[in-house]
Amino acid sequence: MKISRKFIAEQAGVSPTTVSDVMNRNPKARISSEVAAKVREIAEKYGYSPDQSARALVTGRTYNIGIIYRETIATVFDDPFRASILRGVEESIDENAYNLVFVSNMTDAYPSDSFRRCICGKSVDGILAFGPMSDIMVDMIHNKGIPCVFMDYLFKHRQENCVLPDNFQSTYKAAKYLIGCGCKKIWFLFGTLHFFHITNEERPAGYAAAMDEAGLKAEILEVSPRANLTKDMMLKIFAEKGFPDAIMTAGDKITMGAYLAIQQMKPEQLEKTRLIGFDDLPCLAQQKPAISAIHTNIDEIGKEAVKLLMARIENPLLPPQVHRLSTSLVIRET
C-alpha cells in the first residue's frame, strides 16, 4: 500500500494540510508541538516522506540550497575549518527540510559551467558561499533573485549578507591579555593569499591597536598559510631575529608552522615563547605542550548563515546584514 499524506492525516486525526505543514516545517503554520510530534511519529512509523516534486509544484520552490566553493569538494572537506562550517550548515538545513547542492567554481573571477547551470537554471532557492567571489558572479546571483549569504567572508566594496567572527576584537583582546602577562615583544603572523580576505586586515589591526595603546612596537610578519612552508620561513626568521615573548597568528595552520619551527630549532623555547592561534582547531589542543587559541565556534558560522538565508528566502526584501560572532580566549600550556 502506498502511504499518502491523506493516510497519515487519517491516522493522526488531522487534516492533510496539517500533515503537509508539519512535514515541510512550514514556519507560518500554527500547529502545537504535541500535534506536530504525533504527525511525525506516525509518519516515521509508516516510512512516509513528502513528495518533493509535488511540494515544489505547490510552493514554487526547489527546496535546494547551493553551496558554492572554489576548490574541489575533496579539498573543502579536507579543510577542518570549512568542514566544521559545513557540519553546522548540514544540521540547520536538515531542520529546515532543505537539500544541499554542491557547486564547484574553480576560479574567484569567472563563473564555471557548474555555477552557470545552478544560477541561470535557478535550481536552488538560496546560496551559501565561501569567498572570494567576483562582482560578475555576485551580480548574476542577484539578477536571478536568489538570496545569498557568505560564510567567513566580507566584501569591502559592497554590502552583502555575511557571517564571520569578530576578528578585530578577538585579536585586540588576546594581545591585551599577553601584554597584561608581561609580554613586550609580540609578533603577529599572517599568511600571504592571492586574493583579498578580510581576516588579513582585521586580525592584524586588532593586534596592532592593542600594541599601540601599550606603547609597544607592533611586528607583523607575512608568512605562508600552509604549516610546512611557515615552519621553513620561521626557522630562518628565528635564526635572524631570535625569539619573541609571544606569537599571535591569523590562523591555526600558521600557528602550527611556528610551533613546529620552535620545536625543531629549540624545543625548550616552547616554555618561554607564548603562542596564540586563531579558530582553535583540534590540532592545537592535541600538541604537547598544548597551544592556546582564540576559540571560534566554527559550526555556528554555518548555522547562523542558514538562519540568515532562510529569513531572506521568506522575505527577499530584507536588507543585507553582517553577523559578527563572538569568540573566547582559551589559554593552555603555551
Distance separating alpha carbons of residues 83 and 75, to the nearest angstrom? 10
Asked if residue 196 and residue 291 are part of one domain, the reply reads yes
Q: Which residue among 44, 59, 74 closes a domain?
A: 59
Q: What is the mean pLDDT of residues 164-175?
A: 98
Asked if residue 291 and residue 196 are part of one domain, the reply reads yes
- Please give the grid coordinates belonging to residue 233: 620561513
Q: What is the pLDDT of residue 237?
A: 97
- Please give the grid coordinates belonging to residue 321: 546584514
Amino acid symbol at 17? T
Is residue 114 a part of any domain in this protein? yes
Domain containing 30 equals: 5-59
Predicted confidence band at 56 (pLDDT cuts at 50, 70, 90)? low
Is residue 330 a part of any domain in this protein? no
C-beta separation of 131 from 322 below 8 A: no
Q: What's the structural domain count of the chain?
A: 3
Of the candidates 268, 108, 249, 80, the residue with the CA atom closest to the CA atom of residue 174: 249
Predicted model pTM: 0.83
C-beta separation of 142 from 159 below 8 A: no
Asked if residue 303 and residue 159 are part of one domain, the reply reads yes
Distance separating alpha carbons of residues 254 and 38, to the nearest angstrom? 51
Is residue 194 a part of any domain in this protein? yes
Asked if residue 49 and residue 24 are part of one domain, the reply reads yes
Q: What is the pLDDT of residue 1?
A: 63
- Report residue 5: phi and psi, to 5°: -60, -40
Amino acid symbol at 112? S
DSSP state of 277: E
pLDDT, tens digit (0-9, with 9 covering 90-100), for 219-272: 999 999 999 999 999 999 999 999 999 999 999 999 999 999 999 999 999 999
The CATH number that applies at residue 289 is 3.40.50.2300
Distance separating alpha carbons of residues 82 and 75, to the nearest angstrom? 10
- Give 40: exposed, middle or buried? Use CB within 10 Å, 0-12, 13-18, 19+: middle
- Comparing 12-21, 90-99, 103-112, the range with the smallest average pLDDT is 103-112
Asked if residue 258 and residue 203 are part of one domain, the reply reads yes
Distance separating alpha carbons of residues 132 and 275, to the nearest angstrom? 29
Predicted confidence band at 174 (pLDDT cuts at 50, 70, 90)? very high
Is residue 331 a part of any domain in this protein? no
The CATH number that applies at residue 36 is 1.10.260.40
